[in-house]
Structure 1
């Protein structure tokens, strides 16, 4: 799975970086959900100037807010045959 990162400045002017954003195809069933969750996460970080952390993992955020079966299906890794 491909991941992207995003940098922006919050309301106070601090640089904030969001990493591990999954890149999905438009026809993926999770595409809309990821877009909405990313927008909500960015809005939270933009308004919250109390956080000292400048790097945030979107994957860790999804681990906290999604149900575990949905998270596993989104980030599942294919099984390799014969340790290949």
Structure 2
């Protein structure tokens, strides 16, 4: 579930607290990202990464505060809109 975290730019606890990146690996596998040190073994699979800050230069989507995402086999299987506070 999305929440807040201390933001480097402001020093305050604010959203986003989590970021999401979805990838579809090519049949021959996915080489490691330069700089991140992350590699995905195998071929032709979907991968979901959730992190407190984007780990690569790829597209990452911030989760809104109170937003919930359900992941299954590297894909979004469900979720909810952000809950009002």
- Please classify the TM superposition score into its range, dividing by the shorter chain length: under 0.3
Give the TM-score of the pair, scaled to structure 2.
0.24
Give the TM-score of the pair, scaled to structure 1.
0.24
The structure carrying a bigger helix percent of its residues is 1
The structure carrying a bigger strand percent of its residues is 2
